[in-house]
């Protein structure tokens, strides 16, 4: 359920994964500049209260966007963060509240026309599944 995700632009690969040895979870990201022949040391994205369900999208050959589920107080949220190949991290942002239930699946990211889009499954008040979509910069996700 919490397998790694990878994306590539040119010869740059980004791989993100979640692991929780002995219950201590963390989300990590590693870059390769040589099409996977070698990788730089992993960058810790979140080690406070991550739940996993990671995704990664290369923005260009120098930067990637990472998403994951995390606990924030009593809430479960989809987080995202931009990370450069040099290890510089922008401040993580919360995309939306969601559910920890297995049925909620994984938030998926896609880059289109230089905009980052997110899609995920959410449960409505009537327990019906809804697909939610958000774009970085939008104030609220839309329901479809």
Q: What is the pLDDT of residue 114?
A: 86
Q: Do the domain assignments include residue 121?
A: no
H or E segment to which residue 19 belongs: strand 12-19
User: Residue 47 corresponds to which tokens in the numbers above?
Assistant: 């080690």
pTM for the whole thing? Answer: 0.87
Q: Do the domain assignments include residue 136?
A: no
List the domain range (segments joined by +) for residue 40: 5-101
How many independent structural domains does the chain possess? 1
Q: Do the domain assignments include residue 109?
A: no
What ranges make up the beta strands (E) of 37-139? 43-46, 50-60, 63-72, 75-84, 93-98, 108-112, 115-123, 129-135
How far, in Å, CA of 85 to CA of 53, rounded?
A: 22
Asked whether the beta carbons of 97 and 75 are under 8 A apart, the reply is yes
Q: Do the domain assignments include residue 67?
A: yes
Q: What is the pLDDT of residue 90?
A: 96
Q: Do the domain assignments include residue 135?
A: no
Q: Do the domain assignments include residue 61?
A: yes
Q: What is the pLDDT along the chain (144 residues), one digit of tens a residue?
A: 578 999 999 999 999 999 988 878 999 999 999 999 999 999 999 999 899 999 999 999 999 999 999 999 999 999 999 999 999 999 999 999 887 776 666 789 999 988 999 999 887 666 677 888 999 854 444 454
């Amino acid at each position: 359920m919490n397998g790694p995700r990878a994306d590539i632009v040119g010869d740059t690969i980004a791989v993100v994964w979640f692991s929780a040895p002995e219950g201590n979870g963390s989300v990590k990201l590693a870059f390769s500049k040589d099409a996977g022949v070698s990788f730089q040391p992993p960058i810790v994205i979140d080690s406070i209260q991550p739940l996993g369900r990671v995704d990664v999208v290369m923005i260009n050959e120098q930067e990637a966007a990472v998403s994951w589920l995390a606990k924030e107080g009593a809430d479960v949220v989809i987080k995202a963060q931009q990370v450069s190949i040099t290890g510089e991290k922008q401040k993580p942002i919360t995309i939306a509240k969601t559910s920890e239930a297995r049925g909620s699946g994984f938030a998926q990211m896609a880059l289109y026309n230089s905009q980052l889009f997110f899609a995920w499954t959410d449960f409505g008040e009537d327990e019906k599944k809804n697909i939610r979509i958000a774009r970085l910069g939008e104030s609220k996700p839309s329901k479809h």
